[in-house]
Amino acid sequence: MENGKYPESIAKSKEYLGTALEKITKAQLPYNPISYLMWYEYAKGEDEQLKRSLELLLKQNNPIDFDQITRLHKKHMGANKLELAEQTSRELQNILTEMVTQLSASSSGIENRGNTLNTYADELNKAASLDIITKIAKNIITETKSVVQSSKALKNQLDSAQSKINVLTQELEGVKKTAQTDSLTTLLNRHGFDENMAKIMEGKDNFHEPLSVIMLDIDHFKKFNDQYGHLVGDNVLKMLGKHLKNHIKGQDIAARFGGEEFILVLPKTPIKGAYLLAQQIRLGVADMKLKIKDTGEPIDQITISLGVALLKSDESLDAAIKRADDALYRAKNQGRNRAVTESEDDN
């Protein structure tokens, strides 16, 4: 590993390694590089998403298996698709900067707009996200629209640049969507969930509508995987993802939170409405008649447990998620296959 990523002292690295070995031993995982890396990063605590994913595994009553660790390794340590988005956005910046330079050098009545275009050029150099770059691109095109009418050569240059912008924007949106989507269930992944919730929470102080959170997971899923295999387990996860999509609407958000755990965020929904939705989802899953595709063999009934909480006006989203998670574990302790709200021990 390069020094920039692991600059800690020998004493500190020894401490982290000790914690990693303790977790590996306790979970009875193999002593291999993947296990070491995941738990070493957990001990460092700098990757909040990785730490939360591992803590969710630790909270489960079932032992952690190496397949779960491998999937987390692929998710958090594999090739980062966002690097591709960053590279492509820089290419977009280069095209726009070149276009501004051509416009500023033109004698086709652009002089009066020179200062504005130079400002856009400066903003491009500082742009840190696709949204900002796209906004600047629209401003540039609007600013120069009247000028290009009088210059055929300049218009051709602008048309060519705009065509490239359109293609790159589509590519960037595709990369962004892929980076935010769980490949198995096609729901939002943790990164996509965080991105979407950040936008919703930005305006939290300006709205007074209720917002409810539902945490849910599949009961005895590890036992199910051991009995039927991970391929059948993956198909169940796909089925549940589709089931959740069919039960949300409007601004509702559904995401795979990790493993067999899922989250729903329901803007403009009071806790009573969220509880009724949780019950609909639960009953729908329990009524499903599943079979193994190749053999037609019936599969044991799948059930889910759910916890429901309401976001308070003076708290963070994480606090509401924690209370929904606590309600989920009360549902587990009360016998599973049930939905429990944060304020009720029994529903």
Residue 102, C-beta contacts closer than 8 angstroms, at least 6 positions apart:
154, 157
260 is known as an active-site residue: yes
- Active-site residue identified among 22, 46, 195, 260: 260
Give the strands of the sheet with 261-267, arranged side by side.
Answer: 253-258, 261-267, 211-218, 304-310, 339-341
Determine how many CB atoms are found less than 10 A away from the CB of residue 221. 19
Query: Which residues carry out catalysis?
Result: 260
